Amino acid sequence: MTPSRDHPHASRSRPTRRHRRRRGAAVGLVAALVAAGTTLPATPALAVNALHPTVVSADPANWTPHAVDGTVYRIIQIGNRVYMAGSFTKVRNAGSTVDLAMPRLVAFDATTGRIDTTFRPVVNSTVKALAAAADGRSLYIGGSFTSVNGVAAPRVARVDAATGARVAGFAPAALNGQVNDMRLVGTRLIVGGAFQTVGGVTRRALAALNAGTGAADSSVNLRVDGPRTTTTGVTAPVKVEALDVSADGTRLIFVGNFSTVAGQARHQLAVARLSSTGATLSGWSTDRYRPNCSSSFPTYMRGVDLSPDGTWFVAVTTGYMYTGQLCDAAARFEFGTETGGKQPTWVNYTGGDTLLSVAITGPAVYVGGHQRWLDNPYGRNSAGAGAVYRPGIGAINPVTGKALAWNPTKDRGVGTAELYATDRGLWIGSDTNTVAGEYHGKIAFFPLP
């Protein structure tokens, strides 16, 4: 999910009012993590967000740490450790005034929020993707970086989950552009981003690496192509902004700047079937993302998430204000039969503000960005009839597509880049510091009630 300052108001942050109230990991089970004398319990590591019994509290926990600068782009949990990744360079424990120089990738206790200062990877640029390794002792990272711990690591690396040291034997094929998202599926690490080659071989935007060695895995070659061009001639290289994989590891969905996949028309969104022998394009398709939104950027896709049961998904977009098109909106689609011409079950419009992230937990579809409103199909950079105020983060009824009452509020900034649900609640990552009227530097956690 790549934030963009797509509208003149994108960088403004509206003050929040005080209310009284209080992704992607490996498919399968993560084994117990035993490192540096510490045992961390195993936890299910699904490729989809955790299924919740109800909507999370609107009162964020007070014990979470803070990123002092930059943006938190990705969060995952392995055992009782939470890992946050991004462009930040300094972090701070809750209740402390001491800044710790721990850039771009940090681990902390999932119960107390205490930062783990023994986890010390040195990554030379932004980390945008995380995935837990199947051994429960390590994790994969992706982003724009080119070295980890002083050794060349072109956009992908594997590090020890306790220390941050590089894992011996994992030497990934070089990617020539940024990685935006990744998922571990069996023995393959599927990565999506803005790269055009893998190991010197053309493999645009979507590829697979051997999870053990990092070698390029040619079994996933969906030939993503066809960079889009706006009405004013603006274009960009083919890329995948975000992807997700079903919990059973058989279905892949990805969104970004492309118009063909495996030689077939697929406009900004495609679905593929995964098997032990490779990947094949699904017959499922929609033309709803074919039209342009803004003349400023070719792709307006920003995030996608599959439902826990794998039968439907929600995509979120930027794009500005065009009636009848899926710009600045969250849209639910059903998988159903693998045919073309699919239409959304519902669409929730912001009225001209970007949505960057989405997480489906069962009772709610959480969306984040720099939006001011939801339920706003008639808004034109304003609150139209029926609009509800949901700054920075909101929740949508998965059945009706209407905004739920949940409204913690947060500073908008560029936007909420990450939503990650665990069996305890919902994590959010962003570039701002105020959630529910309280200081929460770039990261916050909403527990289940």
User: pTM for the complete prediction?
Assistant: 0.90
In a domain, 375, yes or no: yes
Task: Give the span between the Cα atoms of 167 and 164, in whole angstroms.
Answer: 9
Q: Note whether residue 119 is domain-resident.
A: yes
CB 303 within 8 A of CB 315: yes
Closest CA to 371 of 2, 6, 10: 10
CATH code: domain of residue 211: 2.130.10.10
Predicted pLDDT at 48: 87
User: Would 170 be classed as within a structural domain?
Assistant: yes
Residues in the chain with pLDDT values less than 70: 1-47, 321-322
pLDDT at 90: 98
pLDDT tens by residue, 245-287: 999 999 999 999 999 999 999 999 999 999 999 999 999 999 9
Q: Is residue 139 part of a domain?
A: yes
Whether 176 is in a domain gets the answer yes
Q: Is residue 321 part of a domain?
A: yes
User: Per the domain annotation, does 81 fall within a domain?
Assistant: yes
In a domain, 36, yes or no: no
Tally of domains within the chain: 1
Domain that holds residue 168: 43-447
